[in-house]
Amino acid sequence: MQEGYNNQQLDFNPHRRLLFITARQKKNKSIKPHIIILTLTIYDIKMSSIERMSPLDLLDLNLTNLDPLTENYDLGFYLNYLNKWPSLFSTVKDHDAGIVGYIMGKLEEQHPAMRHSEHYTPWHGHITVLTVAPAWRRLGFARRLTEQLERGSDSNDAWFVDLYVRAGNKVAYDMYKGMGYSVFRRVVNYYSDDPSGMSEDGEDAFDMRKPCSRDKKLEHVRENGENFPVGPEDVM
């Protein structure tokens, strides 16, 4: 860490830390911008930890759930996930700010009556929510949370982990692609609204998958999945 910058000086919100160090950097031209970012990144990671969600933690989700892109659910919905799939429900806890990110998932498969359908989805892990508060993004927490859920799915003998992302959400698409996920199919009009305003019917979703160790032959992933359209009824 740069001389003159100790934990006591940096021990507050990331935005304030950035303003503080940037102001000091203007006075001391020898401190390079990339050193500032590296210092902040190392500090934030050290001051945060990945932990299992607890019932009391559900009362401390404001920093993440105030994000307009994060789906909000009633308390019963969260408790149901926590009770059924505790190993797939993890948080990022900051030393000062509390919970600044979380992932919530489940294990599922389609009804046995669907087994002869080409759209049948076998036993797998599913990411229902992954969110990190804006001030803590780009620090690798989304990847660490996702890896935690993947390990939980793997230990439960899942074939793969999947998630749905809006076809127009390139940022999320690129993030998951960088984690090893690929599009398996396009679910037409999966979302009832289209934020871009380009369609009155809704927006398509990409069903993105990452194989678990059980799928040694990669039977449940494919290339060019964007070109395999299905209806919402096929994924229920």
- Strand (E) or helix (H) holding 134: none
Q: Name the phi and psi angles at 98, rounded to 5.
A: 85, -140
Q: Determine the average pLDDT of the residues in 178-207.
A: 86
Q: Determine the average pLDDT of the residues in 205-217.
A: 97
Task: Count CB atoms within 10 A of the CB of residue 7.
Answer: 11
Domain positions in the chain: 1-46, 49-235
Q: Determine the average pLDDT of the residues in 132-139.
A: 90
Q: Determine the average pLDDT of the residues in 201-230.
A: 95
pLDDT-wise least confident of 90-104, 154-168, 184-198: 184-198
- Token reading at 140: 């690798």
- Token reading at 22: 């940037």
Residue 22 confidence (pLDDT) above 80: no
pLDDT, mean over the chain: 83
Q: 49-235 architecture in CATH?
A: 3-Layer(aba) Sandwich (3.40)
Residue 196 confidence (pLDDT) above 70: no
Task: Count CB atoms within 10 A of the CB of residue 83.
Answer: 10
- Residue 100 CA, chain-centre distance (Å), reads 12
Model confidence at 198, in pLDDT bands (50, 70, 90)? low
**CA gyration radius, the chain:** 20
